[in-house]
Every structure is written in structure tokens, then in C-alpha cells.
Structure 1
Amino acid sequence: MYLPRRNNTQTTNEAVPASCPTASKSQMMEERANLMHMMKLSIKVLLQSALSLGRSLDADHAPLQQFFVVMEHCLKHGLKVKKSFIGQNKSFFGPLELVEKLCPEASDIATSVRNLPELKTAVGRGRAWLYLALMQKKLADYLKVLIDNKHLLSEFYEPEALLMEEEGMVIVGLLVGLNVLDANLCLKGEDLDSQVGVIDFSLYLKDVQDLDGGKEHERITDVLDQKNYVEELNRHLSCTVGDLQTKIDGLEKTNSKLQEELAAATDRICSLQEEQQQLREQNELIRERSEKRVEITKQDTKVELETYKQTRQGLDEMYSDVWKQLKEEKKARLELEKELELQIGMKTEMEIAMKLLEKDTHEKQDTLVALRQQLEDVKAINLQMFHKVQNAESSLQQKNEAITSFEEKNNQVMSSMKQMEESSSLEKELKSEKEQRQALQRELLHEKDTSSLLQAELQQVEGLKKELRELQDEKAELQKVCDEQEQALQEMGLHLSQSKLKMEDIKEVNKALKGHTWLKDDEATHCKQCEKEFSISRRKHHCRNCGHIFCNTCSSNELALPSYPKPVRVCDSCHTLLLQRCSSSTGS
């Protein structure tokens, strides 16, 4: 066996040196190997001494003390040095405090270690923590949790430390074997603070006498291992029994819930069937009404369309005639407007001429009066004024000629006035034509209103068609809802049948669990079916359904049972019985 480099009988802490910042990787690897071999030796010696003493150890047991010394060296390997104002602090209690955060079960150990008043140093607290973890038989579990979280250990250890490498998991596997020991350790603060970690190699050097008792120790360890296996098997069986009991309770609860859900589902099915019947009746009524309305609307629309087509044809003809007349009237109106403008221009000229003539006549009359007065004055005054009178007469004659010319002009003006009167009569006729045109326009507007009414009725017809389509869509949706409800009822019935089958399976499992007992291996010496005696070649096999013991030929069948996730071994009789149940359940 490979021992550390310094193989003296006793060494100090320097025999297995801890890592320092200047150590090389090869030296750290050699130190890890030495510490792992020392851990294997210390655990082996501790288990051998515990077997001889009856597995109950106390603090004065030398192999146990040496185990704690080696464990302390393993925890110190590669530990980083923390500097403070007092000095350098190198304690392994800091990493052990992380277990309290990672595993809540270790909080009791941490609080009890902190509450010990006699402990003054961190090394003493770390040793007390190791003592308590060993007494709880959870030292391997706590260290495994610590090693699984290496990202937290990197704050305390170097990358090449023992706990940061694969050797840490190997040591955890070795520590699992210490769970068979019962340690009764006394926590004294002075002893824990003042202990010096010295490894005694004399315990690990083999003696000749130890070779003779090796077989006996091996036999004892085999017996103890078998005992531990049986205890572990019993613990697993009790756990499975508890799990089965909880499953049975849960299945009973689910059974009651399923029965309640079944009752509620049946009530729901009845209510849904009633609603379905009501919906079908309403659907029939709506369909009949909609068909009647559609027929009525179709007939009305046909009549209205025929009348509309006839009125539209007459209106189109009337509109074309009115349009032609309107064009002709527009042409005549334009011509009349041109003539009227000419007549108005002539009338204005005649008015201006009449005004001028009136002025001239007034002036002439005034002059005539004045002349007559002068003539009378001349006749009365002197007959000698004959020449003047003749002259006056000649001038008077000229003026009379002018008056006749003016009268002729007046006659012309009067004729023009008559023409103006005729133009005014034409204007009256034009107004009457305008009124007729307005009447025609009013009739045209009335026809447009009737066409708009017909268009509104057509829109109403389209709305009725749209409403018919909506009613048809609603009918389709109601039919779809009805189909979905029928499908849901079918699925619910299928689900209820499946739940009934599950309930029957659960009842059968409960009956099987209550009625059948698991027969022990010692109680059976012959196969229950063929009654052949068991031997080395004819092994015992349990039927997972009835619990009895059979040979391999009588229990070579495998079936899936509700209490097992995979197919398990059953006997021939249980196999045929279960197949009959399955065929009857599938046939129903």
C-alpha cells in the first residue's frame, strides 16, 4: 500500500503538508494522493476496531481520534489564507458554515456549535461540527452537498485543493461506510481548541497476527453488511407500504370526487338535453317563420319589380319626350331672348327720342304762345307790321310743317309702342311656357321620388335577404352547437365509462392488496402450482398479484398491473384471471 513520503511512526502536522501559495501542481497532486490513502487506512482501521468493540465508540477511541485528525488535514488541504488586522487566519470552519445555507437540516449543528460557550477558536468549532455530523450519521451527506457546490467552495479553496478535485467525491464515498457506527462523543471546548493534529502511523502498519484474524473480520463484515442490507430493505418496504397507503387514500378521495363529478355530470347532461330540445323547437319555429317571410318577401318583390319595370319604362319614355321638348324650348327661349334684347334696345332708343320730342314740343308750344301774343300785340298795335306778320306766318308755316313732321314721328313711336306691347305678350307666353316647364320638372321630381322609394323598398328587400342569410347562419351555428353538445355528451359518456373501469381496477387493486399477503421466502418450500420442491436450480419467484411463491415455469408470464409502472411477473392463474378481466372490460 502506498504510504506518505515520511513514514515515521508519528508525525506532526507537517507530515502531510497543506497547500501554500507557492506549491506546485505536482506537489499538490502528491499531497492529495497521500491524504486519500490515509483516509482509506483510517476508515478501514476505524471500522475494524468498531466491529471488535460492538460499533459503539467514544471520544477516547484512538482510531476515531486519528480519523478526525486525517479529516481535518483533508479539510485544510488547499485552504486559502485570509489576512486580518490580527494576523493570518486559516480555519476550515468557514466552508462548513456553507452547509447550513445549502442544507437546512444542518442548521441544528451550526446553532449548537455556536451556542457552546467553551469554544473560543474557529478550529474548535470546526472539530465540534465534525463530531456532531458523525453522531448524526450525516457527515457524508453534508460533505457531498458542499462538494456539489464548487462555485461556493472556490472562495475558500485553491483550484488544486482536495475538495475541489475528484478525490473529494471518493472521500465522500468512503465516509458513507461510517453510517453503521454509533458514536457517543463529549464536546469539551478546551480539548477541542487545544488538540494538535498528529497522525499515528503505527495504527496502519500491518502485524503478522492481524493476518490470522483477517478471515474472521471479513466474515463479521459480511454479516454486518447483510444486516445493513436487510435493514435498508425493510426501510424501503415500509416506505413503499406507506406510499401505497397514501395512494389508496388518494384513490379513495379521487373516487369520491369522481362520484360527485359523475352526479354533477348526469345533472348537467339532463339540463343540456332539455336545453337541446328547447333549442331544436326554437330552431324549427325560426325556420318556419323565416321560410314564410322569405316566400312573402319573394312574392312582394316580384310584384314590386314588375311595377317598377313598367313605371320605369313609362318614365323613361316620358323623360325622353320632356327632354326633347326642353331642348326645343331652350332653343326658342334663346331666340326670344335675343329678340327681346333687340326690342328692349329699340324701346330704350324710342323712349329717349320721345323725351327729346316732348322737350321740343314743350319748347315749341311755349314759343307758339309767345308768338301768338306778339302777333296779337302786333295786330293790335299797328297794321304796318304786315311784313313782319308775313314773315311770322311763313315761320309759322315752317313750324307747322315741323309739327306735322313731329306728328309723323309720333305716329312712328306709337307703332313702335304697339310692337313693344306685342313683345310683352310674347314675354307672357314665355312665362307660361316657363310655368309649364316647372310643372314638368315637378312631375320629374315626383317620379324621382317614386324611384327613390322603389330603391328604398329594394334596399329593404336586400335587408330582408341579409336577415334571411343571418337567420340561416344562426341556424347553422345552432346546429353546430347542437352537434358539439352531442359530441361532448358522447365524450362525457366515454369518460364516465373509462372512470368506471378505472374505479373497478382500483377496487380490484384494493381487494388484491387487502386479500393477498406477501408470502415470505422462508415460509415456502414447494411451488404452489406444481408443488415441486425448490432447490438451487429451481429458484423462488413471487407473483406480484397474489403474493405467493412459484417456480420459474409456473410464473413466467408478465403483465402490467396498476400498482407497477412496468410489466411484472405473475403466475399462470393470475395471468388467465387478469386476461379475462381485460377482455370483459374491453367488450363492455
Structure 2
Amino acid sequence: MAMERANLLNMAKLSIKGLIESALSFGRTLDSDYPPLQQFFVVMEHCLKHGLKVKKSFLGFNKSLWGPLELVEKLCPEAAEISASVRDLPGLKTPLGRARAWLRLALMQKRLADYLRLLITRKDLLSDFYENSALMLEEEGAVIVGLLVGLNVIDANLCVKGEDLDSQLTQGDVSVERDTYKQSRQGLDEMYNEVRRQLKEECQLRQDVENELVVQVSMKQEMELAMKLLEKDIHEKQDTLIGLRQQLDEVKAINVEMYQKMQVQTHTHRHIIQQLEMDLKIEREWRQTLQNDLHRERDSVAQLSTEALQINGLKKEFHRLQDENVQLKTICEDQEKALEELGSKLSESKLKIEDIKEANKALQGGQVWLKDKEATHCKLCEKEFSISRRKHHCRNCGEIFCNSCSDNELPLPASPKPVRVCDTCHALLLQRCSSNPT
């Protein structure tokens, strides 16, 4: 029975495959005279008859396909229309004819696969009509039903006549069945050759697998030894892991402590940054002030450069005057003798100088020497001191003045060399000197 099921399955595969390929190449609706379609119905009839129980009747023993197909309308109400059409079809007198008509109508509706799938799922009902080893009750039946789904792409318009379906196999049907048998035989031969080739490949593969098995057994032994070593290594690693986890916990505690310290330091640094930003702002303002002073200093440098050029001119004039002074010294030596004659007059002049010293001491009696940090503005012009405007003491009155207000030099009784005096003291001292007779 298993061999019969396999042969029927192969015939069904070839028939359905050939029908689909020829129908797609045919490209139009199939009719009842299409040979591949006739072959398909013959094969389906043999598949449905396989393992069908023989029932007794008045005419003898009979195998009827109509019984199991008639169950479909109970399982699917939509199939009731086909069953009713088959029963009402004129000229149908035998159950085999009704079964043939049912198959053709189901194919035209493209529901043949759906109806047979419902039928094979109810093996409890099919067991009344089929033997236990029948194709419809085994896996081959499910495979054939799955193949029938591909027939939904085919459009068929079949002529269903009762007389044709009730009749036994005609010469044409025998020819169709013979052609089907030849194709099935050819397909089976091809499958046999393919299976034989696969057997050789499987034998070679088995030999390779056996060789591989020997290698694998050796590798297994090596792996078992390696596993033992690995297990030992794993135990050591676990001990190491426990120690590392303890170290990790300690490191986490240290990290938490360091994080807290970092938070405190971050807060401190933020405060320092704010303070530094304020200092930076002040420094920028101071820098701007210095830049302004620098511009003023540059102006002063330019002025001093001009004055330096003038000084260079004065130096040349000074050298010229030195030469003249040498000449004048010679003249002066000649005139020293004349100066001796003027000694008496010089004595009188010294007495006058003593008087002037006493007067100067009297003026300096109330003098106060002002400290640098106590003066912020010039005493005379009242301009604020800065880097470019520096402080200068008057050697006569002790007050602090800027350069322009104390740019005078006169010899004082306390200092034989000329010293810096302010404009006011300069004018006063000149007035005193002019009031005394020369």
C-alpha cells in the first residue's frame, strides 16, 4: 500500500505540474477535450479510489466515490450548491458519474483544493469509506491537496453531460489513461535514476561522515580534556572574580568619596571662577586705562624725540661754547689780575650774600616737605598725577608740582648748584635778586 501511495503521489505531481505548465502556455480557457485536463481527472479518480471500501448492493460489490464527496456539503455549506447541481443534472444515474461531475464543477469554481482539505481533516468520517492505509487518510493525501492549490490559476469551462460521465472507460479514456501511465512511468524512471544517483552520493557522504566521525571522536576526547582544564581555569577565574568584585566595591566606595570631594571642589572652583571673572573684568578695565596712558606716553615719547633732536643741536652748540670757553679761560687768566683789584668790591658782595642767606633761612623756617603719597594733584595747575604726569618737589617751598609747573632751576643758598623750583618760587627769587644791587 505504501508503494501504491508513492506511485499515485508521483503521478499526481506530474499530472498537476504538466497541466499548469501547458495551461499557462495555452493562454486561454480550458475545455473538456484538453488532454492534460483529461489526464488530471483520471489521476484524481485513481487517487480518490485508493483504499476505498467495497460496499455490497443488489447488483454486487461496488466502490463509490460519491459517498465521501457528498460529505463535503455537511462540512462546508458553500459546497451544497455543487451537490445540488450534481443531483439535479439530467442523465446522471450512477454515483461514479456524480463524483466525476462534482470534481469538474469544483475545479471550475476553483474550490477543489479547499473542499478536499476540509474532507481530509475529518478522518473520523472518512474512515467509514476508506481503509486505514488509504491515500486520503495518509500524508500523501495532504500533499496532493496542497498541490491542487496551484490549479486556481487555471480557468476551465467544462461540458458536464450525464451520459458521458456515467459511461465506463471508452477507447479514448483508455488512451488517455495509457498516455498518463506512460508519462508516469517515464517520470518514475527519471525519479529512479535520480534516487539511484542520490543513493551513491549518500553512500559517499556516509563514508565522509564516518571519517569525519572518527575525527570528531578524537576531537571530542581532546575537547573533554580541554573542558577539564577549562573547568579548573574557570574555578580559578571565579576566585579571581570574587577578589576583583571586592576590589570593585572598594573602588566604588573610593569613587563615591572622590565624587563628593569633587562636588565640593567644583563648588569652590565655581566660586573662584566667579571671583576670577570679576578680577578679569577689573583687569580689562585697568588694561584699557593702561592703553589710554600708553597712547599718551607715546605722544610724550614723540614730543621727547623732538626735544632730543633739539638737545642734539644744543650739544653741538655746547661743544662750540666749550671751545669758546677755553679761549675765554685764557682771557680770564689775563683778567685775574684785574679781578684782584676788584677784591674789595667782592667783599662787599659777600656781605650782601650773607644777608640774602639769612633772608632765605627766614623764608624756609615755615617750610614743610610734602610726602609723595599725600599729593594727588599739582599744587599750581591742579591736574591729576598719572604715569605720564609725574610728581616733582620744589626745593624751595617743599610742595609737589608737575613737570610743566616746576621746570625751572636756580641756585639756592643751601645748594651752590642750580636746583628745581616751582614757577612761583622762581618769580619770587628773581624778584629778590633784582631788588638787591649788583
TM-score range, shorter chain: 0.3 to 0.5
**TM-score normalised to the size of structure 1?**
0.30
- Normalised to the residue count of structure 2, the TM-score between the two structures is 0.40
